Amino acid sequence: MEEKVSGLAHRTLFLNTTAFVICFAAWMLNGVLVTFLVDKGIFNWGPIEVGWLLGIPVLTGSLFRLPMGILTDKFGGKWVFGLLLMFCSVPMYLLSYADDFLSFAILSFFTGIVGSGFAVGVAYTSVWYPKKWQGTALGIVGAGNAGAAITTMFAPALLNKFTGDGTAVDQWKLLPQIYAFVLLGMSIVYLLFAKNKRPEGHKTLIQLIKPIKNVRVWRFGLYYFLVFGCFVAFSQWLVPYFVNVYGVSLVTAGFFASLFSFPSGVIRVLGGWLSDKWGARKVMYWVLGSSLCISFFLIIPRMELITPGAGIMASAGGEVRSVSDTSIQVGDKVYAIQAKVSGKETFDRSGIFPQKEMWHEVVVKQGQVVEKKQLLAKASTCIFFQANIWVFAILVTIIGAIWGIGKAAVYKHIPEYFPEEVGMVGGLVGVIGGMGGFLFPILFGYLLQYTGFWTSSWILMWILSGVCLIWMHRVITRMMNREAPHLAGHLEPLPKNNK
């Protein structure tokens, strides 16, 4: 008999999704705000300090997911989510009064707790829906990640409007104040219209944290470390990335960053549906394989590289009879040389594929006697790669959408394998994934500092995608060899109490 879904469940889903959209928009504010403050010279912060300010709110939002998930399992989601929104509105408002790195970092720490709302939304939604619909329902809640696109798309334009395009820079303070009032307003709406509900049965704290010892939880956490952690990191990192690499304005950079974050959030609904229909194992294979391939293409930096080419050597000894711009004559042998035309100015700046130019530089003189195999003219090759901004944006959008599908696939299995500890397990997986959102901007800053390559961040993504894919394949292969009859359509064998 098919289980029915009540209208109250749909109302709860709507409230959770809307609240999480606002939470995520507030959680990602530093990506735009810090970039603006540095770009306008309001604060003199380097890439490492910027990396920390982008990562600190992500850290707190991640760390608090576990306790928030446990509190939701224990007390229900209405009061936990409502009070969370109300609490975070306070440091968000005070952020407008920050006047140095330390105060900005401390307030960002408390503001970042708003990111833990996902663990509350997942646990609170799961108690309202039957297992058949949980993948789709949790995918809809997770679509609140699209709140990042709201910030990256609209916050730069608001900052420009408030500051008069730089004539009244102190007016940037209006932005965090607006975010604070939105958080407060959502908390009031949530407390008025949500109805509390907890999982059936009462468990002690020891029983709730028991799944921590299950390696399956940590493996899911690693996958989420990639698909969610990287999404959070690049939702912020892409703004300074586009500003520095392509020289676009902050508003344009915000637009391109939103091309990455908005589809990645919205498509999470599709990821939940695909996981319900085809199984998360197939979805995760596709997600990790695609992430590996696309991140490899994104590694190639925008560059102008000059490297030694194939020079001209004498095929026989003799006297150099003549040297011109087009040839060298040694004895009776004439060697054609290629002169430098005009350098990088001839390259097509709108081109998609790498371009090159090669030229020779004569190293012998007329009348000189040379031996066989002696170098007559050394060669130089200039390789120019524009890393076309639209091609880059399309690839970034695709990989963001792929990670969005992966986020839903990971969370599909939590209520299936841990139906009584969704908040705790979902919170722990969220902590691990969110730690990626914290660590990656900091690592990106250090990699940029020491390599000088903005694309060094994609090298890290390529390595991590490969590690996840290899580990998942080895585990699945081992389980298939051991328990093949139980694996059809699932990421791993179902628990014994599941049919």
Which position has the higher pLDDT, 262 or 100? 100
Which position has the higher pLDDT, 161 or 207? 161
Mean pLDDT of 388-401: 89
- In this predicted structure, the answer to whether residue 167 has a pLDDT above a threshold of 70 is no
Q: Residue 498 has what pLDDT?
A: 37
Q: Is the pTM of this model over 0.75?
A: no
Range of 130-139, 191-200, 481-490 with top mean pLDDT: 191-200
Mean pLDDT of 153-162: 88
pLDDT tens readout for residues 80-91:
999 999 999 999
Mean pLDDT of 16-27: 92
- In this predicted structure, the answer to whether residue 196 has a pLDDT above a threshold of 60 is yes
Report the percent of the chain where pLDDT is more than 90. 22
- In this predicted structure, the answer to whether residue 206 has a pLDDT above a threshold of 70 is no
Q: Residue 491 has what pLDDT?
A: 42
- In this predicted structure, the answer to whether residue 222 has a pLDDT above a threshold of 50 is yes
Mean pLDDT of 212-240: 84
Mean pLDDT of 290-308: 86
Mean pLDDT of 200-213: 64
Report CA 3 to chain centroid distance, whole Å.
37
Mean pLDDT of 236-247: 86
Q: Residue 487 has what pLDDT?
A: 44
Q: Residue 209 has what pLDDT?
A: 66
pLDDT tens readout for residues 464-496:
999 999 988 888 888 777 755 544 444 444 444
Lowest-confidence region among 3-12, 179-188, 360-369: 3-12
Confidence of residue 191 (pLDDT cuts 50, 70, 90): very high
- In this predicted structure, the answer to whether residue 454 has a pLDDT above a threshold of 50 is yes
- In this predicted structure, the answer to whether residue 68 has a pLDDT above a threshold of 50 is yes
Domains of the chain plus CATH, in order, are: 7-301+388-486 (1.20.1250.20), 303-385 (2.40.50)
Lowest-confidence region among 71-80, 140-149, 462-471: 140-149
Mean pLDDT of 281-289: 89
Confidence of residue 296 (pLDDT cuts 50, 70, 90): very high
Mean pLDDT of 175-190: 95
